[in-house]
Structure formats: C-alpha cells, structure tokens
Amino acid sequence: MKLTQGCFSFLPDLSDEQITKQVQYCLSKGWAVNIEFTDDPHPRNTYWEMWGLPMFDLADAAGVMMELAECRRVYGDRYIRVSGFDSSHGWESVRISFLVNRPAKEAEFELVRQEMAVRSVRYTTVHRQPQPASS
C-alpha cells in the first residue's frame, strides 16, 4: 500500500532533483527545513523523530540534501519526510511537508467502520501487518 501523506503524495515519488527544488523553494521563503523520520506512519502519529536540528539559516538546498543522504543511509528502512516551518508572525506553523523516503515494504492500514447510536459512524484506522509481496 502506497502511503499518501503530506504534499505531493498522489504524485509519483519525487526524485532527488525535485526534492532539491522544493527545499530551495522553502529556503527562499525563509522557512526552517526539517528532516524527520518514523517507523509508525499512522496518520494520527504527529510525533516523528527529528534528524538533527532544524536548518534555518541555509542559503542552498545542497546542505539539506547532504543531511537527507546521511539520514537515508542510517534510516533508509523508515519513512522520512521533509517539512518547512514558517516562523513569521501570524503563521508560526509548518507550511509544507512531504515524504522523501519510504521503506521497501510499506505499512498497511485498514479502515474499520462502526455504526454508532443515532446513525453516527465511527472510523478507526487499524494498523495491519504487512502482507507478503505475492498478494
């Protein structure tokens, strides 16, 4: 199952060149670029681990790509995402976030629907064990 999370997630995976351009865009806007990774990509899991510190005074995306390469080397079997944090007044939040690495065998989720009282519906996302590649 191809995980769709953050920007560009319905596009094919971004190439390094495309990632560089997105990062450069973030830097040109003055956003702090962060690299985060996790082995639990559940949509409600907002606590991804950070790779190093936020990179807020770079001029060129090459610096971020250097860190990303290092992060991939260490955590290549996990999900890695890049996010751009806008610290300007009134925003103070993440403006962009996209996946840059996914494990060879991706996580599987199942949506369980429950009929509740007064015809309301409750959805639960259940983490499923990855299926063998044959299916």
Partner 1 sequence: MLDVPHTTTIEVNEVPTAFDLRKEAEAAGITETLHQLEQELIGLKPVKQRVRQIASLLLIERIRQRAGLVSSAPTLHMSFTGNPGTGKTTVALRMAKILHGLGFVRRGQVISVTRDDLVGQYIGHTAPKTKEILKKAMGGVLFIDEAYYLHRPDNERDYGQEAIEILLQVMENQREDLVVILAGYGERMTSFFASNPGFRSRIAHHIEFPDYSEAELLYIAELMLRERGYRFSAAARESFERYIVLRRTQPFFSNARSVRNAVDRIRLRQADRLVSDLDRMLEIADLETIDPSDVLASRVFSGGAGSEQATGSKCP
Which residues of this protein are in contact with partner 1, per CB under 8 A? Answer: 52, 55, 57-64, 66-67
If the CB atoms of residues 68 and 80 are measured against partner 1, the closer one turns out to be 68
DSSP assignments along 44-64, one per residue: T---PEESSS-B-S-SSHHHH
CB of 63 to partner 1, least distance (A): 3
Dist CA 18 CA 16 (whole Å): 5
CB of 39 to partner 1, least distance (A): 24
Q: How far apart are CA 86 and CA 96, in angstroms?
A: 9
Cα distances (Å, whole numbers) of residue 50 to 38, 42, 60, 111, 125: 9, 17, 20, 28, 24
Smallest separation (angstroms) from partner 1 to the CB of 62: 4
Which residue is associated with the tokens 């060149």?
17
Q: Which is nearer to partner 1, 67 or 78 (CB)?
A: 67
State the minimum distance, in angstroms, from the CB of residue 68 to partner 1.
11
Q: Which of 64, 80 has the CB closer to partner 1?
A: 64
